Structure 1
Amino acid sequence: MSNQKDHHYIPQFLLRQWTGEDGRLVRFYKPHATKLMAEWVYPSQVGFEKHLYSTRNPSRRGRNWLENDFLQRVDSMAARSHAKMVQSPVVGLSDAEMSAWSIFVRTLFHRSPSGFKSTQFHSIRIWEETVREIGPRYAQMKGPDDPETIDEYIREGINGAAYDQVLEHFPDTMMSSRVGQFLNNLHHAYLR
């Protein structure tokens, strides 16, 4: 699991409901701007990007901790909620299952390649602006192993530490109890 490279932004449990008897579904793609192609594939073969959530500097948790430790857990809990929602007749969700589903829905907004890269970009820009405010005080504040200038510090941070800090805070953003409670309190119904 720790060497996993394919990070699924479309969870496989959602794709499985569209598969045929052989466990495959149709994937459409455009190899050229004017050509549309289709192929039969397994859910594990679509909806992913290699190392989408990988840290640049492997931490104590491992390079793929966000995918392996957070998103897979969220998906697993959401899959149980989803299974209840698609039963016939529909079985209502418990409070814990509703919370699992609302966390999952929140991750969908941020875990796509474009959403995730946008979150990283804006978070790193905020980090850079904050660090630049230190500016003139950097020389007095820097440690013996820090770069000589604030610009070098920022460049190194963007290529490593700052990027990884965005990943560190991603679960906190998704697990916000305030947002979760708001979503859980919304009126909801099950449609087929």
Structure 2
Amino acid sequence: MASAEKHHYVPRFYLNGWTTQDESQALRLTRFQWKGGKFLAERVVPRSTACLDRLYSLEGVPIQDQQRIETDFLARIIDNPAGGVLHHMRTAGPRHDLKQEQRVAWTRFIMSLRIRSPEIVEQLNAEAPAELRKNLENDPEEYDTLAEEGDPETLLEFVEKEAPGFIDDFGKRLLPRLIMDDKAFKRIHQMHWWSGDFSDSKVSLLTSDHPVIIMPGIDHPGCVLALPISPTLAFFACPDERVVQFVLNWNRTSLVEWLNATVVRLASEQVYAIDDCQAEFVRNLLRMPTVD
């Protein structure tokens, strides 16, 4: 049923890379989080974490259309193609050579991870409807010249009548447009790409509910974009070949430690690992939620 839809803001196919089989043969990963003032390290299945009920559901449309952002956009256009690319990168290792359509799919996936989080959705839901109402109330004279007899008195009232719920859902409706932003897409797509193999590192790679690292900024000529893709592999992109060489020459374990520290600091609530060996490391860096 639509009312029971769970929407993953960190997709299961991505989290599966940190799973191992338990005694019941179930694939689980280790999830670190603060809850009720306690730091927890729990073994969980990917389908039960990094998800919220109806996170992307539209409320002002018929029930058969409520999940279309999740099913028609995120699943079909973003996650399904990216899942194949991720499988290829994990199996091919650092020697992978992505085709054009794979680069497009992977770029879209990276952009989605930056936008689809509960925090961004909450912000859009809080700000976008009010901004749209404000814009609809601008230039009332223009509407007056176009309105026909029997139409509502204002454009705002017209939209509320003809498209009930559209304004309240406007924040979620912006998600596809933000994820498909051409400027950010071109910036990432044109960077130098490679994967780092950290099988020889003393510590494994962590990930989190905000796993994409972009420092100092996507428009900076010295930008470094990084995304852990397994406990031993990380994806990198840089616009400058000199920065690429700097990263490649970094000590392997030191680079993993930097990646892990950054991923944990970027996390909103949850960090994921293949085991609990780095529990103390995560505990010291993961922000404790503020109590309202």
TM-score (norm 2): 0.55
- Partner Cα distance (2:173, 2:120) in 1: 16
What SS is found at the alignment partner of 1:189? Answer: strand
- Structure 1 segments, 4+ long, off by >6 Å, are 136-140, 148-157
Deviations 1:39-95 (A, max 9, x none): 221100000111110001224861111011111121111111111222244321101
Matched residue, 1:12 = 12
| Structure 1 pair 172–125 and aligned structure 2 pair: CA distance change class (3 A) | same
Tell me the residue number matched to 1:170: 175
Q: In structure 2, what is the Cα distance between the partners aligned to 1:153 and 1:48?
A: 36
TM-superposed deviation, 1:26: 1.9
Structure 1 residue 137 displacement after superposition: 7.3
Matches within 5 A, 1:31-180: 31-32=35-36, 34-59=37-62, 62-73=65-76, 74-89=78-93, 90-134=95-139, 141=147, 144=150, 146=152, 160-180=165-185
Contact 2:9 2:50 in 1 (8 A): yes
Larger proportion of strand: 2
Give the CA deviation at 1:178. Answer: 4.4
Deviations 1:113-138 (A, max 9, x none): 00122234343233122122145777
Letter in 1 for 2:43: W
Equivalent residues of 1:16, 1:43 under 8 A apart: yes
Q: 1:156 to 1:115 in 2, by over 3 A?
A: farther
Partner of 2:33: 29
Bigger mean CA deviation after superposition, 11-20 or 166-175: 166-175
User: Relative to 1, partners in 2 of residues 1:112 and 1:164: Cα closer, same or farther, differing over 3 Å?
Assistant: same
Structure 1 unmatched ranges of 5 or more = none
Structure ID, larger Rg: 2
How many Å apart are 1:30 and its aligned residue? 3.2
Taking the aligned partners of 1:84 and 1:152, their CA distance within structure 2 comes to 51
Q: Is the 8 A contact 1:2 1:68 kept in 2?
A: no
More helix by share: 1
Q: Distance in 2 between matches of 1:173 and 1:100?
A: 15
- Which residue identity lines up with residue 53 of structure 2 in the other structure? K
Aligned residues: 189
**Percent of residue pairs bearing the same amino acid type:** 25
TM-score, normalised to structure 1, is 0.80
